[in-house]
Chains A and B, each alone.
Chain A
Amino acid sequence: MSINKIIESFNSAVEDILDNSTVMVGGFAGPGGIPQNLLKALQELGSKNLILVTNTAGIGDFGVLGDHIHTGILIENGQISKVIASYPSSPSPSKPNAFEVAFREKEVELELVPQGTLAERIRAGGAGIPAFYTATGVGTELAEGKEVKIFEGRDYLMETALRADFALLKATKCDVMGNIQFTGTSQNFNGVMATAADTTIFEVDEVVDVGEIPPNGIHLPGIYVDRIVKIK
């Protein structure tokens, strides 16, 4: 097997993320599935005017999950010009996160997207579907400016596909071809985002030989994966 997607360092894995790139970042809330080392490397690289596509824009001490590195470090570092997310702010108004502070200072724009619509827009982006219709959001302020079409008597909104230049993702295990296995609920957006970016970069806990993950145990085939960095 001559395919080998392993990159030695987090810094070299992200070095071509230029200014004005659109970057998807995996994770839901809490540390599960967040590519913390790749985020740190992107912060060190310092690229600016990035569009960030992610579920939350960084929730630190939310719930019982403890502190961890999240997309908030890029916002605090002034690298993000726009956030596309479903849950961008802190759950607690009295403890605003970096996104909310930057948004109020008009340093960052927001495109708020219902979570399922966000996932499906990304899925569509990876599946060659330019747009789709969904009942989610009909009659709400998030429907403003969107085409409404009636199917079998019900209103639906047209939503367009989302793609990115890069996706920064996290998984538990992979082989050198990039066949990926997730653990539990840490798959979240990582699987679908891998399909919708020009360059997909995973950080993983463990790299195994090709063939070690059984075919049915591969949650995402390596054709969607460009670079892998093993967490030391």
Chain B
Amino acid sequence: MADFLPKDVIAMRVAKELENGQVVNLGIGIPSLCSQYIPRDKDVIFHSENGVLNFGPLADASEINPDFINAAGYSLLPYPGMYFMGSDIAFSMIRGSHVDIAVLGALQVSQSGDLANWKIPERGIGNVGGAMDLAAGARKVIVAMQHLDPFGNPKIVSTCSYPLTGQRCVSLVVTDVSVIEISLKGMILKELAPGWSVQDVQEITGPRLIIADDLSEIEL
């Protein structure tokens, strides 16, 4: 098998999915890297559920300001057109389908698009935060994650064994070896990382993949 792509490349590939004018919420982890890779000719309006809309690059550690943060706890910089709101309005935006895309991390994604990303059963306790609101409310959910968990188990599974965040909510999965679309027919393998074959990806994926007619190498 060839190398797994770095996390930043997963983020770059997701960034290609984001369109001019879209309202986008980025989850913690790999999804949060996407904002760095938006082409200059695109205006993506980032939403963060703690109460900010339309923020730009994040401050570095020397400019910490606890009154200007995103949901991951990173400090924001002033940005033209920025808007602040309370938690009730921030979530009305999500619940009311005003957020076009949520990019979320995952512990598991099932072939029908079920998402599990808030609780590891072994810990016995979980932080749900805004994950269930985003899974149910965003118009489209993209999962950005590594293909395998830290123990080498597939994270793309026939049925999630971890507690669900939402049912049938994920429509695209971008991993470090593939891009997979979730359709009513099943999981469609659309793109492969360089050096990876269909068989290589299938071997580390739970459900049987449908091969797209236009299967290609991942392009950034």
Binding site for B on A (CB under 8 A): 28-33, 55, 62-66, 68, 86-89, 91, 93, 100, 103-104, 110, 112-120, 122-123, 134-142, 172, 182-192
Contacts and interface: CB of A to CB of B under 8 A. Distances in A.
B167 A191 contact: no
A136 B51 contact: no
Interface in B87-131: 87-88, 90-92, 94-95, 114, 120, 123-131
A188 B50 contact: yes
B91 A119 contact: yes
B31 interface: no
Contacts of B69: 28, 30, 32, 65, 184-185
Contacts of A55: 87
Interface of B: 48-52, 61, 64-76, 84-88, 90-92, 94-95, 114, 120, 123-133, 135-137, 163-167
Contacts of A29: 50, 71, 73
A136 B67 contact: no
A28 B50 contact: yes
28 contacts: A28-B51, A32-B66, A32-B69, A65-B69, A66-B64, A68-B66, A86-B129, A89-B127, A91-B127, A116-B91, A116-B132, A116-B133, A117-B132, A135-B95, A135-B136, A139-B114, A139-B167, A140-B132, A141-B164, A142-B132, A184-B52, A185-B48, A187-B84, A188-B50, A189-B86, A191-B88, A192-B86, A192-B87
B73 A136 contact: no
Contacts, number: 162
A118 B73 CA distance: 20
Nearest to B95: A116
A134 B95 contact: yes
A32 B94 CA distance: 22
A183 B91 CA distance: 19
Nearest to B65: A184
B128 A142 contact: yes
Given A89-B126, A136-B95, A136-B137, A115 B49 contact: yes
Contacts of B64: 64-66
Given A112-B126, A119-B88, A182-B84, 13 more contacts: A28-B50, A31-B66, A64-B64, A64-B74, A87-B127, A89-B125, A115-B130, A119-B90, A135-B136, A140-B167, A184-B52, A186-B67, A189-B87
A86 B86 contact: no
Nearest to A29: B73
A88 B123 CA distance: 13
B73 A64 contact: yes
A88 B84 CA distance: 24
A28 B85 CA distance: 13
Contacts of B73: 29-30, 62-65
Contacts of A137: 132, 136
Contacts of B163: 140-141
